[in-house]
Structure 1
Amino acid sequence: AELKDIVILLRTMSGWSDVFVNTLMQEGIPAYADTGTGYFQSVEIMTILNMIRIIDNPRQDIPFAGVLYSKLCGLTTDELTHIRLMDRNTSLYEASLIYENEGNNEELKNKLMDFLNMLHRLRDMMKYTPIHELIQEILDITGYAYYVMAMPGGDRRKANIDMLISLAVGFEKGSYSSLFHFIRYVEKLQKYDVDYGEASTSGEDENTVRVMSIHKSKGLEFPIVIVGGLNKQFNMQDQRSKIIFDVDYAIGPDYIDVENRTKIQTLLKKVIQKKTQIDNLGEELRVLYVAMTRAKEKLIMTGYLKSVEDLNIEKDFSFSTLISVKSYLELVLPAMNNAFTDYMRINLLRKEDIISGELTKQRFLQHDYKEIESEIASINRNEDIQKEIEKRLYYIYPHDDEAKLRVKLSVSELKKLGQFVDDEDSELLYEDISPELQENYLSENQYIPDFVKGPQAEMAGTDRGTLYHKVLELLDFSRLNNYDDLVGELNKMAQIGKIAKDDIGKLNIGNIFKFTQSDVAKRVIKAQEAGKLYKEKQFVIGLKASEVYPDQVSDELILVQGIIDVFFEEENELVLLDYKSDIVKDESQLID
C-alpha cells in the first residue's frame, strides 16, 4: 500500500485535523487536510510574516525572536538567552546589536552580524521595492523556499508562500501599497478570522495521507481507512440550551418562579430534549455507518480509554442503553466484544508502550547521528569525495541570469525598465492656442452644460489614458472644422453608448481640439483619405534579451507585445503616433 491509499476520517475537523497533520509531518509522513483554515498558522507563513514585520519595525520582540529562532537565522534557545541577558531593559533588536559588538561567543556574533546585515539591507530596499518583490528577495537571499520544499509536504508549503506573494500583488493594486499597511491588512484578516486555507496541491495521484471529515467522505471509498477520535463526546449543546426548538413541538422553555426565585424544566422541554436526543443519536449512527463503510480493504478505528476496565464493557444494546451513549467508542467496543464479531481484533496501546517506543526511536537516532558524524570525519580525510561534495553543493547554474528573465513583456513594462525615455523621442504636437481662438471657443468649455460634464470626480491616470485613447480612436479628424464640431462628435459618442456622458466632463476638450488642428492631424487626415490610416493595432515582436536588458549578453528571444495607437503610410514610410495624456508642464501640477 502507498500513502495515497490511506485516509483518516474524523467526525469534526476543528481542533483535530491540525494535530493529525502536524504529527504525521513530524514523523516525515506527508499529510494534507482540506479544512479551509490554518493558512496564517502554517510555519512558513508565520516565519515570512514575522520577517516582514521586523523589516518594517525591528523593535518588536516577539516577531524578532521568532525570526532569530527560525531557519532564517537558525539560533538556538540558549543563544537567544545569551542575547537577551546582554541588556534586559531594551528591545531584543538592540540587545542583538550590543551582542554583535560586545558578545563573547564568536560563532554567535558571526551569525548575528550576517543576519543584521541582511535585515538592514532589506530595510533599505523596503523604501522603493514592491511588497511581493521584497518577499521574493527574502526567499532568494535566505534560500528559505528551498528549505520548506525539503520539509514533509514541501510542495504545499511552497504553494502557501506563492499564495502569500499573490496576496501581496493583489494588495498593491489598491490605494495603500506600503509594507506597513500590508502588515495591518494581514492582521485584520487574522483578527476577523478571514482564513484562506492552506494551498491545495493534493490530487488523486499525490502520494500523501489525506485527513477529511466523515461527511466529506460520503460516496468515496479508500483501500485503508482510519477512523480517529472515537472517544470524542457527542454534541449535546442543543439539549442544554435555555430554550429548545422543535419542528413538531415548537418551543420548550424553562419555568421560572419569580416569587421563589427558582427555575425548573417544563414537561414540554423534557419531551423535546428526549426527542432531540433520539434524533441526534440516529444521525450519529448514520455517520458512524458512513465512516465504517468507506474502507475497501482495511478499517482501523482508534480511540482513548481512561482505564483498562472500560475495554471489556458489555451492553445489551437495548433502547434505553443506546440512548445513553455519549461517544462512538461506547457503541463500537461492546459490539466488538460480541461473539459475532470475533473477526475484529482489539489492540491496546498503553501510555508506557508509547513512551518506550519513543525512547527506542531516540536511541536509534542518536546512534545514527554518531554514525553520520564518523562518516563525515572519514569524508573530510578523503580529498576526492570532499571535492565532489563541494562541487555538487556549491554548483552554480551557468544560465541562472537567463532563467530569471521574463519571456514576454508589454511596452509599458519596457518603459518601466528605462528602455524608452519619452522626452528624447517625442515632441509637443501643438503650441498654446491663440488668444482669439481661446476666447471664441475654449473659454472654460463654455458650450458644454454642467449636466453633460457630469460630476468632476477624481479619475485614475490609467482610466484617463484609456478614455483619451478611446475618443481619439473614434474621432474622424476630417469632420472637425471647429470646436463645436468636436463637442457634437463627443455628444454623439455618448448617445450611442461608446463613452459615458459623465466622461465628457473629464476630458480636456481644449487640448483635443488643439491636436486636431495641428500639422500632424492634417497628415493623419490625408492618410485616411488614401486608405492608409490604421488605429489601435496589436503587435508582437521578438527581440534579443541583450536588446531589452542592457546588462545581459544573452541572445534568448524576448516577446514584446503592445498596441500601436495610430500609424499611417507616408512617402513609402510608416509614421507611428503614441498618444500621451500625462504631460506635465509645471511642477505645481504634480503638487495639485
Structure 2
Amino acid sequence: EEIGEMIYGKEEELIQGNLVDYPEKLEKNYYPELLLYEEDSTEDERDQISDGEIKIVAQQIKNLMASDAKLNYKDIALLVRSKSQNNKIEDILRDYDIPVVLDEGRVDFLKSLEVILILDVLRAVDNPLYDIPLVATLRSPMFNFTEDELTRISLNAGSDTRFWKKLQMSDGKMITPVLKEKITQFLNKFTSWRKLVNELPIHELLWKIYTETYYLDYVGALPNGEMRQANLQALSTRAELYEKSGYKGLFRFIKMIDKFMEQNNDLASVNIKLPQNAVRVMTFHKSKGLEFDVVFLMNLQTKFNQRDLKESVILTRENGLGMKYTADLKKEEAVETDFPYALVKMDTLPYLVNKELKRNATLSEEMRVLYVAFTRARKKLYMVGKIKEKELEKYADIHLENGILPDKYRRSATGYQHWLLALQTAHSLPMIIKINTSSDLQDTNKKFTVRPNFKKLAEDSKKFDRIMDTIDEVKQARAVMDYEYPKEAATQLSSIQTPSQVKKKSYEKQLELGNILPTSEYVRVKQLELLDLDQHKITAAEIGSATHSFMQRADFSRPNLFDFQQTLDQMELHDEVKNKIDLPKILTLFDTDFGKVLVDNVERTIKEAPFSMLKTDEVAQEQYIVRGICDGFIKFEDKIILFDYKTDYFRSNDQISEIKKNYEVQMELYADALRKAYGVNQVDKYLILLGGPRKVVVERI
C-alpha cells in the first residue's frame, strides 16, 4: 500500500496458473521463465536491448512452434516498455523466418528490397534512358534476364549506346531466338506501361504492374511474404494519397520519394493490411485488455524513468511546488573567487518531501504496469533481461519480512528485473531461471535468405561496355556466346515459383494444344460510369483483396450479419471498399452443405496455410520450389477438405465450368502439398465462388 498505492487483497492477488481452463499448468514446464542473457562487458549499454536477448526469444519461439502444432504465431506477443527498439526486434525475428507485426509500425519500408525494386521499375517507366533502373527491372524476378543475356544485349551495340536503345536494336548474332522473344515480350509490356502513365493514376499503374508480373504473388511466397505484400500495398496507398493531395505525375512522385530517401527519412505510416498470423510486438500500455497464449516481457533490465527527480522544481498534488534553494556564496566572507557569482543549489525540506512523493508515485506506476504485463499471458509467461557476470551474487542476502519484500529493496530497485531477482532469492518463486551466453546462441535455427542487390548488378553491367575497347576480346566473347547450350530450358527455369506461375504455364500449354480458347465467349458488359470527382474509384483488385481478408477474419462458428458487420468495421479499409463487400451474399455460403461443414468444424479449420514443395519441370527436367498460401482447409484424421475463395465474376453455369478449369492446376498443387505434409491420400477440393450476382456458389473440383 505504501509503494504500490493500491490495496493488494484476494481479488487483486496474482495466482499462478488458470487451473480451471488450463489444468496442465500444474506441470513445471508451464511455470513462468526468466530468460537472462549474460552479456560481455564490451556489449551494449544496459538499458538498450541486446541482440542476444532477441535471439534467445527467437530460438524459444521456434522451439514452441515446433513442439506445439496448435500454436500459431498470432498467439505470441512481445511486450516492450517503449517502442524505441522495435525495428531491431523485427529485423532479428525476420532473420529467423518469424513473421512479426509492430503495433506501432516502423518507418523504413522504403528501404525494403521489394519496394526498392518497384521504385526502380517506376523510374524506368518514367524515363527508360536511365540505365541503372532499367537494368534493375530487367534483372528483377519480374522478367528474369540473366547476366549472360544482359551481356549479349550490351555487346550487340556500341559502348556509347543507352541500354534502352540496345534493347530496341536486338538483332544480330549475339541475340538468340529465345532471347529475342524474351526482349519482345518485355518491350511490349513495358511500352504498354509507359502509355498508361498519363492515363491512369499512379496507384492503379502500380496495381497493374503487380498483377501483370505476378510480383505480389512472388513476394508473398518469400519469407515474411505477408509483410512484403503489405509494403507494396503501402506504396500504392501512399501514391493514392499523394495524388489526392493535389499533386500529379509520376515524375513528381518519384522525385518526392528520392528526396525523402536522400534525407534518410521515410513516408508516414498508412493503413495497410498487415499479416494476420504473425507475432505481435507492442508496448505494455497498449497490451491492456488483450490476452495471448504466450507472452514475452522484453528488456526488463531497463531502468525506471526518474528524470523528474533530478529537476530543480518538483510539483505534487499533495504539497504543490518544492524547489531547490539557490545561494550566492560570493557574498560570504569565507569564499574567495574571481568569478562574478558563486551559485550553489541546495535541497530544501519541501523539495525533499516532494521528491520522495514523486519517487513513490513513479514506483507505484511501474508496479501497476508490471501487474498489467503479468496478466496478459493465458498459458506461458517469459520474462527477458540481461545481466553481467556474477551479478546474481548481490541478491544472496535478501529475505522477506512479514511475508513481503522489505521496503528498502522495493524503493532502491532501478528496474523490473531487480524486483524479480530479489523476490526469487527471498521467496523461491515457482519460476524457472535460464541464463544464456553468446556461445549458447551459436547453434540456431536461423535461416538466411540471399537477397540480390539489383542496383549493384545494374552498375556492374556498365563494365560490359568496356569490352568493346578491345576487338580481339570481343571476337573471343562472341565465339563463346554463339555456343548453344543443350540445356537452355533449365537456365530459364526459376528456382522458386508460385502456384499462379505454375497455373499460367499450364494454361499456356493447353492453349498451344487447342484444348481451351484464348478468351471466353462470355464477356461481361461494362456499364458506363459517370465521372464523380468526390468518389473514391474502387478497383476489382481492391475488392478481391478486401473480400479475402474479410473471409480470413470472419468467425465461422457464428455466421450472422451482426458479427460479420462488426468484423468488417474493425478492418482498416476504405469505406467505399467496405461498402462493396456484400455480407448478406457471403452469408448464403452457410446455407450450403459445405457451409454447414465449415460451421461444425471450426476447431479443425486452418486458414491461410503457407506451404512449399519440390516439383520437376517437364521440359528442363530440373527441380524447382513452389511456394504459396492456400485460403484454408479442414483436417480430419482420414482426409482433408481443401477450400479456396475466388472472386472471379460469373453469371452462368458455363462460366462456372470455365473458372473451375482455370484453377484445376492450382488446386491440385495445394492438394499435393497437403497430401505430402499430413500423409493422407484423400484431399477433397472445393472452390468457394464469391463473384456471382446473388449468392455464393460452392463447386467441387
TM-score scaled to structure 2, two decimals?
0.43
> Which structure has the larger Rg?
1
TM-score scaled to structure 1, two decimals?
0.50
Greater RCO, CA 8 A, separation 6+? 2
Q: Which structure: greater helix fraction?
A: 1
